[in-house]
């Protein structure tokens, strides 16, 4: 089986401005150039929609991906405030988040809507990153695995092998997002293994190839332990992605993971 290339994506959420974005991207390009040139890992940023053009201009040719935090399931029309997949294509977006817990909670997005967005992104050639996760109440009630796997199965229902392998799944325990709390590496691995098993119900071949990311207060200090787990293929990083030092450390952890998989070219 082909090794899964580690993927580290930063989610800027509703943060940034033209000056701060330039400083952040410039700092990361300087600190992480060697990590990105070998192609052993993938990394990028989900930026606020107004800054897609800035990210596209600044990051093109650097090895970094840039993407969006959400999209519409409609091609065009009277959908005020929404962003179509064709618009993402215009900015050469490499990926788009769908189903983030903040979108599910604040905008009441359903699994069916999220599935429609996934299909629209796949048709446009933009990598979907499906976000799933459970609340603290659901975890304490013993429902965490059921809730998360139900989200996965509902959103990905009906997709073919060649479609499934183009997307990534990001597991973000809701109780750990922005709280400073994080699941232990063992707990995160257990959930990732459960997600991969659920993916196997859809398509056994695709399940082994699909990347599953961990999100929920990922930092430089805990990323190496998290990424060392067999079913954790990288991270969806929140607040730490706005800090050059933190994000560089996370990318280094992803590179260490890649080296353990034999993806890093050794200098002779």
| pLDDT, tens only, 116-137 | 999 999 999 999 999 999 998 9
DSSP 230: T
Q: Which are the contacts of 70, defined by CB distance < 8 A and separation ≥ 6?
A: 83, 96, 97, 98, 100, 103, 117
Q: Active-site residue 100, yes or no?
A: yes
Q: Which are the contacts of 209, defined by CB distance < 8 A and separation ≥ 6?
A: 1, 2, 4, 165
**Cβ–Cβ under 8 Å, residues 117 and 98:** yes
Q: Which residues pair with 170 in a beta bridge?
A: 131, 213
CA 148 to each of CA 124, 187, 195: distance values in angstroms, whole numbers, following the listed order: 26, 14, 8
Specify the pTM: 0.95
pLDDT for position 216: 85
Q: Which is it for the CA torsion 228, 234, 236, 241, positive or negative?
A: positive
Which stretches of the chain are DSSP H helices?
18-37, 52-59, 85-90, 101-107, 111-124, 136-140, 144-156, 161-164, 185-202, 204-207, 220-227, 244-260
Structure tokens at 56: 């596209």
In the structure, what pLDDT confidence band is assigned to residue 252 with cuts at 50, 70 and 90? very high
- Tell whether the model's pLDDT for residue 93 goes beyond 90: yes
- Phi then psi for residue 252, to 5 deg, are -65, -40
**Residue in 100, 109, 134, 192 annotated catalytic:** 100
pLDDT for position 82: 96
Query: Using one digit for the tens of pLDDT, what is the confidence trace for 163-178?
Result: 999 999 999 999 887 7
Alpha-carbon 103 to chain mean position: 15
241-248 average pLDDT score: 98
- Tell whether the model's pLDDT for residue 268 goes beyond 60: no
- Tell whether the model's pLDDT for residue 267 goes beyond 50: no
Percent of the chain past pLDDT 70, that is, above it, reads 99
- Tell whether the model's pLDDT for residue 37 goes beyond 90: no
Quote the mean pLDDT of the chain: 95
pLDDT for position 266: 56
Query: Using one digit for the tens of pLDDT, what is the confidence trace for 172-219?
Result: 999 887 777 778 999 999 999 999 999 999 999 999 999 999 998 899
Burial letters 115-131, b for 16+ CB under 10 A, else e: bbbbbbbbebebbbbbb
- Tell whether the model's pLDDT for residue 80 goes beyond 90: yes
**Residue in 102, 109, 172, 246 annotated catalytic:** 172
Report the candidate in 27, 13, 41, 24 with the shortest Cα–Cα distance to residue 234: 41
Q: Active-site residue 192, yes or no?
A: no
**Cβ–Cβ under 8 Å, residues 267 and 246:** no
In the structure, what pLDDT confidence band is assigned to residue 1 with cuts at 50, 70 and 90? low
CATH number of 7-15+44-58+66-72+81-260: 3.20.20.70
Query: Distance between CA atoms of 266 and 189, rounded to whole angstroms?
Result: 29
- Collapsing DSSP to helix, strand or coil, 131 comes out as strand
């Amino acid at each position: 089986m082909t090794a899964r290339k580690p993927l580290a994506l930063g989610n800027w959420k509703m943060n940034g401005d033209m000056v701060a974005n330039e400083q952040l991207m410039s700092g990361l390009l300087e600190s992480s150039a060697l990590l990105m040139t070998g192609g052993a890992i993938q990394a990028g940023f989900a930026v606020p929609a107004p800054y897609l053009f800035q990210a596209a201009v600044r990051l093109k040719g650097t090895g970094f991906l840039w993407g969006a935090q959400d999209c519409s399931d409609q091609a065009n029309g009277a959908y005020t405030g929404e962003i179509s997949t064709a618009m993402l294509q215009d900015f050469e977006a490499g990926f788009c988040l769908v189903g983030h817990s903040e979108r599910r909670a604040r905008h009441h997005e359903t699994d069916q809507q999220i599935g429609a967005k996934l299909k629209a992104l796949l048709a446009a050639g933009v990598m979907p990153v499906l976000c799933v996760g459970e609340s603290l109440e659901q975890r304490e009630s013993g429902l965490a695995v059921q809730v998360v796997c139900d989200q996965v199965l509902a959103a990905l229902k009906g997709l073919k092998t060649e479609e499934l392998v183009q997307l990534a799944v990001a597991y973000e325990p809701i109780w750990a997002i922005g709280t400073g709390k994080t699941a232990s590496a063992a707990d995160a691995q257990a959930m990732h293994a459960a997600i991969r098993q659920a993916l196997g119900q859809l398509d056994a071949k695709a399940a082994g190839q699909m990347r599953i990311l961990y999100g929920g207060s990922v930092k430089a200090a805990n990323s190496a332990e998290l990424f060392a787990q067999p079913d954790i293929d990288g991270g969806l990083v929140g607040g730490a992605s706005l800090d050059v030092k933190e994000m560089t450390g996370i990318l280094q952890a992803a590179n260490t993971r890649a080296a353990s998989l034999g993806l890093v070219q050794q200098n002779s």
